[in-house]
Amino acid sequence: MVHAVAPGAAITIILVNQSAVTSPAAFVAAMTAFLRLGATHGGVLSISATIGEHYLTRAEVTGLDAALRLDRDHRVTVVAASGDKGAASDLHFGSTTPVKEVSLPASDPLVLAAGGTSLTADRATGANLGETTWNTLPAPPTPGDGSSASGGGFSHRFARPGFQDGVPAAEATRGVPDVAGDAAFNTGMAIVSVGGQASQAMVRPATGTSAAAPFWAGLIALADQLAHRHLGFIDPAIYRIARSPHYHAAFHDITTGNNAFALPRTTITGYPASAGWDPVTGWGTPDAVVLVPLLASR
């Protein structure tokens, strides 16, 4: 995803031991260690892993936030997926009961949180014909997984950051996401995977907010390249541009759909997409030709 957007980017992949997904504590420890490495390993970090806020202790949240502050102080931009279960946090560690909440690390105000859309594009030219909130209802063979939708809502761990002050749809706590990218199963960017032989190549879509995060990381890398420096903590600049006369040139505002999460016997009411920022798709998806130069010149 990053090289599709920013082909000149140098990419470092951090591998995490399988034991990191055996418990919330191990998950958070691995995430925090990754974020600390980021201060010395690059200008942009892309994170697709998510964990619901309720899984973390106060000390674990403090440790994660401290690592993000270190990244900010080293002018590192951190981009994270908002999650794929809409208004519910992604289910982890054997949990079968959905919780209405947002997920970390996206909900930390030091992170650029990326939600998901479903894009309709012209098949011949690739022109954007319209977008709506990504929300796919549960279907066989795994209806028990629930719907797949753009993660979003309001934190119960972090107060509203200053860059969200005065945003009409904002509340007293941190709102997620900030921005969005195409995440739908039937519209995602085509990815070619090649096995041991060329005949084993497979074309599949890049899906979920796990695709939206590296998409945005690539855009930030382009802005870094154009600016000849690392832009670092980017959220305030994103919000200044979105609240300026440049908004509708720099972003595609998503105003339809919602991020309700549905299981066969349970539905968690989500939030509706609306004009401007909303806790479903943030400010929307980018028009990179306009947005990247604006970010580079901030």
pLDDT band at 141 (very low <50, low <70, confident <90, very high): low
Q: What is the pLDDT of residues 160-178, one digit of tens each?
A: 999 999 999 999 999 999 9
Q: Is the peptide bond before 279 cis (omega within 30 degrees of 0)?
A: no
pLDDT value at residue 61: 96
- Looking at the chain, the whole-number percentage of residues with pLDDT higher than 90 is 72
Note if the pTM is more than 0.85: yes
Q: What is the pLDDT of residues 76-92, one digit of tens each?
A: 999 999 999 999 987 66
Q: Where are the beta strands (DSSP E) in 69-219?
A: 77-81, 103-104, 112-121, 128-133, 135-136, 148-149, 153-159, 173-176, 179-182, 190-193, 202-205
Q: Is the peptide bond before 141 cis (omega within 30 degrees of 0)?
A: yes
Straight-line distance from the first to the last Cα atom of the chain, in angstroms, rounded to the nearest whole number = 25
pLDDT band at 142 (very low <50, low <70, confident <90, very high): low
Q: Rounded to whole angstroms, how far apart are CA atoms 233 and 66?
A: 14
Note the maximum CA span of the chain. Answer: 55
* Domain boundaries, given as residue ranges, for the chain: 2-117+129-183+210-292
Q: Rounded to whole angstroms, how far apart are CA atoms 109 and 89?
A: 17
pLDDT value at residue 98: 81
Is pLDDT of 297 > 60? yes
Give the homologous superfamily in CATH for domain 2-117+129-183+210-292: Peptidase S8/S53 domain (3.40.50.200)
Mean pLDDT of the chain: 92
* Site of tokens 């990381």: 217
Name which of 43-47, 156-160, 201-205 the model is least confident about: 201-205
Is pLDDT of 99 > 80? yes
Q: What is the pLDDT of residues 178-204, one digit of tens each?
A: 999 999 988 888 888 777 666 678 888
pLDDT band at 135 (very low <50, low <70, confident <90, very high): very high
Residue among 67, 65, 75 at smallest CA distance from 43: 75
| CB atoms near residue 25 (< 10 Å) | 13
Q: Rounded to whole angstroms, how far apart are CA atoms 260 and 191?
A: 28
- Looking at the chain, the whole-number percentage of residues with pLDDT higher than 70 is 94
Alpha helices in 124-234 (DSSP H): 209-227
pLDDT value at residue 19: 84
Q: What is the DSSP string of 227-272?
A: HTS-----HHHHHHHHTSTTHHHHEE---S-B--EEETTEEE---B
Residue among 249, 269, 250, 277 at smallest CA distance from 178: 277
